[in-house]
Structure formats: C-alpha cells, structure tokens
Structure 1
C-alpha cells in the first residue's frame, strides 16, 4: 500500500508549531465581510494594514465595536441614523475628529458621509466604510465574526481524538506510542481530529475547541507504517473537523523503580492550563516492549 508523502508545508507546520497571533488587518476584515455586509470603502485606504487585536490591557483599550462614541471611541464605530443626525444635523455637532483611537468608522442604513468626514478619515488614517444594512445588524454580525476571528489560540503537540463524544488530547515524548494508540482507537470506531499539531481556540471563558491545521487534515503518522490517510482508510466517520477539549492523556516512560512506586489504581492526575483554561491531565506509564 502506498502512503502520501507529507508536504513541505506540513513539515514546516510541525517545526514551527507554537503560539498563534490573533491579529486581523482592516484590509482582511473588509475582504472577508464586504460581500455579506455590503460594505463599500469610502475613505481612509491608508489604514488598510492597521491591525485589530485583542492584545493589551483590558482596562486600557477601548471597546472593539459599538455605536459612535466621541468620548470613549470604540475601535470600530458604527454611525446609525441617530448618530448621523447628531453629527451632521444637530446644533452642537460633535466632531468626527474626536474619534482618535478608532480604526474603522461605518456609516450604516445607506447613509452617505459628507465630504468633511471623508477628508477627516483620510487625514486621520481611519478606514471609512458605508453599508445599506441597519446599524444593529452590522454590530451583531461584526461582533460574532470578530469574536471567532480574534479568539486566543495556540498549537499544542499531540494527537487529538474524539472518544465517545469527548475531545481527548494524547501527549508524550517521541516514541511513547501516541500515534499507535490513536490508530488503535480509530480502528475501534473513534475519530481523528489532528495529529501532532492541534490548533486550540478559546471560544468562551471555559471552552477550548481543537481543530487541525489545513495541511495536516485527515493524516496520521505511525512509526513503521508511514503517513496514513485516515479518511480514505476508515471512511468519513473516522475524522472530525473539530472537538471541544475535555481531557489530556500524557504517555510517559517510567523506569523500573518509578513503576514500582506508581499507583496504578489512582494514577497520576494534575490540572494543566491551556490558554488560561484548566484541563484535567492523566499520566499513563509506558515502557518499551521487551525483546
């Protein structure tokens, strides 16, 4: 049987696995959402490479998105009908120039920004978008997109599986049998999410979702067998695109003396923090097979 060769991209992904940044440029945001939100870029194209990020002190940075607020500007400001009237029709007009600290201003409800606003956006390097969508819809959809796109994430080494509906990450040093255990579980009806490098994303204060980097999807590397395409060998049910992490199983080689003192009934349990979330980790002793 022939097995596919791992691409150079995949090998690079294995070597560079580690922390992941959660940054998003304004240009990337526009490219992703200009269709769904009917956005048009009216001014401030010099801000295209400015990055939106959740990094930094929570107490010091402004809110990521909200209605136009000249006192405490949001990073993304939405100008709806009420804000438009206050800005451009009221007797005491707040200046859009007070939006220092904002990265994006969006005119909703098919409102057309005046020339003065276009000039201010250009001079202050603020991206100015327009959309026919109502302000409340823009805020709701942008919040949902940004919450997913800017969620903290990192790559953890190990094999991530779906076992009886729970996400289980198998970790351990090279040669401890992680892939062999994974292949045995897959052959018994459980599913593979990712081999060797699993991308974990904190989607809520208590939830970590693990997925597989695209270049590694469906593949499992097993010593002596090579790189197996699990989906082709066992069918679609043998792979999962993502799972919530519930448990970490750590395989560790023990010496003969360490095995004598190891409590096989209680095992060795501890709590491991991944992206600030506590996950139970169980250590299982392994030893080379005697020949």
Structure 2
C-alpha cells in the first residue's frame, strides 16, 4: 500500500507537481487490491471514481460549458460511486476555483502539472504497474552477461560469488548478490534488481564484502535487467543418472508464472565456469534468434544417413559384407 503523500514525494519532481488543495487527504491509501484492475488512473469519469482522476483541456472546457449548479452536481457524483484518491490537472492549466474549493471541502488532494493529461496517464500507469507488480526474492547472483540477465543459483559453497567476480573482471556487470528481487512487470517480462541495502556489494568467502562499483568502476554494476537465463550450478557427483548431455528440449524454470530458459553447469575441478557461462549465454542468444545448433546437427546427421543408404560404401574384394 502507498499513501498519496508518498506518491507525491516520489513523482512530484518528474511530473513537476504542485499541491493545490486537499492537503487533509494526504494519507489516502492506494491499496494494492486496486491493482487487480490496471485502471488506476485515467481521464475524469465519475463511473470510475476510485481511480486518480486526470483533468486536461477537454475536461475543463466541459466544466466551462456547465452551469455552476451542474458542476457541483457532476463533482458530487464522485462521492456517490466512491471518492477518488486524488485529482490532477495537466496541460499547463491552473485548477479552477470551484474545483479547489470542492477538493478542500472533501479532503481530496488536488495537484497541478505542466505535463499533458495523456503523458500524466501514461507515466502513472507505468509507475503503478511497477509498484504493484507481482514479485519474489531468490537466492543467487544476478549478472549482466553480454547484455543478457543471468541468475546464477545453486547450493552454498559451489562458487557462485567467485564465478560472478570472474565475470566482472571479464567486463560483465553485477546486478545483485545473495538476495535478488524479481518482479513481473509485464506478462512475459521478469525484471531483476538489487535491494537498496545490498546495492553494488558482492560477498566472497575469504575476502568479505566487496564494493564492486568502487573497485571496478561505474560500468561494472547495473541497476536492473531483464531475466533471460538461469544458470544452475550443481556438483558433478550429484548429477542425475538420466541427465542428458544433448537435451532435445530446452530446459526452463517457472518464475512468477513465466518460463525462463535454464542451463545446468556441473561444477568440478579444472572447469572454467566463466567461459562455460559465456558460451551458454551466446548459445541462448542464438536460440532466441531462431538458430538451434542441436536441431541443425540432427538435420545434418539425417541427410548424411540418407545419403549413405542411397550410395552405400563399396566392400573390399574377398571380404564379407557382414
């Protein structure tokens, strides 16, 4: 949940908001339950009175056309269907006096912004979509490898942080270590980010906490990234007997209802996991572009077998065909 006062503090600078009236309604709550409908903000409409109401040139022109009695009747319709959490006037228009007085009377926050009404709606819908997004926290290290968001996970002690440090030294970026916040900001989009408390920090056994931004520079850290690949580290001795070296189907893992591609990297002495993970990322990028090396190989093998059956190799004289 978030109050109107908190919303104002977060977006006032970006939208250049001025609080005109209704300061007594500062602690009206934007409940998460309202996010069940993406319609948390929209043009002035008493039927959808429980959303933030945006007023632009068309709405103010309509008010100018109404008589004073009709204006009051129209505004009071909002109280019938449910009070709006706030009202914003855009298009560089000042709120009219009758609206200021009505908002003060009913403690409904009234804001002014020089942004257009359409831009206010677009910005706030994106903001609310992120604020009320379904989310979870996963243990692991989230990295930006070649522009691809990779979540490195596995049991403690397998070397996730050491692998991340090696990748950072090779020019890739750290997003989050230990606690990775994942948000579903779109139907098929999982965004990963770092809690503010752990920003830029990487914990490595034997060394302690490292401030990656201070040590490696600004380009070694990222604020957020789209999750595209999960890299599961596993002890080689614990691999299942039916583990496929060449899986015919792409491995996936479901996170927040979205299937994310997955690779399993066995951990053993002498294996360069950083190189393996880079190769896995490059392979993932190729697959996302529609290039599947395994399918290409299987097709090549099929053609070779057909050619062999059509033109069998001649047998040497004196030798059996068996």
Matched, 1:114 2:114: no
How far apart, CA to CA, are the structure 2 residues paired with 1:80 and 1:261? Answer: 64
Deviation of 1:170 (Å): 0.6
Gaps of 5+ in 1: 1-22
How far apart, CA to CA, are the structure 2 residues paired with 1:283 and 1:267? Answer: 14
Deviation of 1:163 (Å): 1.6
How far apart, CA to CA, are the structure 2 residues paired with 1:230 and 1:153? Answer: 26
More helix by share: 2
3-state SS of the aligned residue for 1:126?
Answer: coil
How far apart, CA to CA, are the structure 2 residues paired with 1:188 and 1:72? Answer: 53
Gaps of 5+ in 2: 271-322
Matched, 1:281 2:262: yes
How far apart, CA to CA, are the structure 1 residues paired with 2:60 and 2:77? Answer: 15
More strand by share: 1
3-state SS of the aligned residue for 1:243?
Answer: strand
The one of 221, 224, 230 equivalent to 1:242 is 224
Which structure has more relative contact order (CA 8 Å, sep 6+)? It is: 1
3-state SS of the aligned residue for 1:32?
Answer: helix
Whose Rg is larger?
Answer: 2
Deviation of 1:283 (Å): 3.0
Q: 1:42 to 1:237 in 2, by over 3 A?
A: closer
How far apart, CA to CA, are the structure 2 residues paired with 1:97 and 1:196? Answer: 52
Matched, 1:160 2:142: yes
The one of 27, 39, 49 equivalent to 1:73 is 49
Deviation of 1:159 (Å): 0.4
How far apart, CA to CA, are the structure 2 residues paired with 1:153 and 1:166? Answer: 20
Residue of structure 1 equivalent to 2:300: none
1:47-100 per-residue CA deviation (whole Å, 9 max, x = no partner) reads: 222232554573xx5821111111222511122233234346415444212222
How far apart, CA to CA, are the structure 1 residues paired with 2:23 and 2:7? Answer: 13
**TM-score, normalised on structure 2?**
0.68
3-state SS of the aligned residue for 2:125?
Answer: helix
Residue of structure 2 equivalent to 1:195: 177
RMSD value, Cα: 3.2
Paired positions, count = 263
The answer to whether the Cα contact below 8 Å between 1:63 and 1:74 also exists between their aligned partners in 2 is: no
Deviation of 1:267 (Å): 9.7
Deviation of 1:194 (Å): 1.3
